[in-house]
Amino acid sequence: MAARISPEINKELAMPELIELPAPPAKADLAPRKVLCCEIARAKPSLRALGIGFSVSYAQKRIKRGRTRKPPYFASCYNVGDLGNINIVAFYHPLIADWEWMDKDEECYRLRIRSAIREEMIHSVQVMTVKDRYERSSDLQSQFETAESYYQNLLGRIIEELADSAEGQAAVLTAAQLYYEDWNITSMEKLRQIDKKLHGRDGYLVSELIRQIVQIRIGELTSEEAKGKAWDKNRIFNITKFGTTENLLKFMAGTLRQAVPRLVKLSPTLAEALLEIEGTIRKIHQISMA
């Protein structure tokens, strides 16, 4: 999930709309805390190489467009307009809550956390590569007032290119159902409505689709797949054909995986974005392993 920070707000606040609460008591279950700390430490060399900040929030609520909402697992934050000061915020309470959802299975929980961190790194690299491209191009600067307006235009072009065919639309809707955990997103119009309702603009899902495709192409589980059995808790889907929501999830993710090569061909803008993002990830991996 990506979040925009107004440049007028104190830069020391990672997420200014958060309602912060005290840190968890020392008697809390140590096992998930240990896994979470280890996975954050594992990711920090790559984050430092990218110049991405990282912070932990103990907020249990946040205010978004005047409404109180639960925080996500992680959020990639950046300045409105210039896309600068990229910072990843880890939300402690929802991350620790997944320990119970995943039946206290340490290995499954570790994969879940690792995948979620990777998700936000990919989001951050998306923003970073767009910012760099915009700042290097005088033509783009003459066409678009800010790096952010260029980013939104880019996402809009990708969705237009994919929506131009039934095949592309089907894959986009599968990606949306996975991300939003909503089986009722069966048309592009419904997707536009939920994007606007939850994120204030249509086309938001494209940033998640890019993230899903990058995770697939580099040989990792998508964040949705890494939830595993956690999908069987408080999820309402028609699972008659599949038995459990976990099996449904695997089928949907498999469908998206098979569609990836075709999606890249359908959208030249998507293909170009993927090359830049994956190239940056490879370079950072080489640096962190050196």
In the chain, where the domains are located? 2-289
Q: Over range 57-79, report the average pLDDT.
A: 82
Note whether 228 and 202 are within 8 A (CB).
Answer: no
* Of 205, 224, 203, 217, nearest in space to 274 by CA: 217
201 Cβ contact list (under 8 Å, min separation 6)? 152, 195
Check residues 206 and 7 and name the one with the higher pLDDT. Answer: 206
Provide the token pair at 106.
């340490």
Vertex 51, ends 92 and 82: CA angle to 5°? 95
User: How many Cα atoms sit within 13 Å of 164 on the Cβ side?
Assistant: 12
CA distance readout (Å), 241 to 38, 174, 236, 245, 247: 39, 17, 14, 10, 9
**pTM, rounded to two decimals:** 0.81
234 DSSP 8-state letter? S
For 56, the enclosing helix (H) or strand (E) is strand 53-57
Note whether 229 and 248 are within 8 A (CB).
Answer: no
- The per-residue pLDDT for 126 is 94
Q: How far is CA 147 from the centre of its chain?
A: 20
Note whether 50 and 124 are within 8 A (CB).
Answer: yes
Looking at the DSSP assignment, which residues form a beta bridge with residue 3?
77
Q: Over range 4-24, report the average pLDDT.
A: 44
Q: Over range 112-116, report the average pLDDT.
A: 89
Which band of pLDDT confidence, cut at 50, 70 and 90, is reported for residue 209? very high
CA pair distance 120, 44, nearest whole angstrom? 13
At 24-41, the pLDDT tens digits run: 555 557 899 999 999 999
277 Cβ contact list (under 8 Å, min separation 6)? 122, 125, 126, 129, 210, 214
Which of 108-117, 155-164, 176-185, 248-257 has the weakest average pLDDT? 248-257
SS3 content of the chain, % helix, strand, coil (to 5): 60, 10, 30
Provide the token pair at 279.
């190239």
- The per-residue pLDDT for 8 is 42
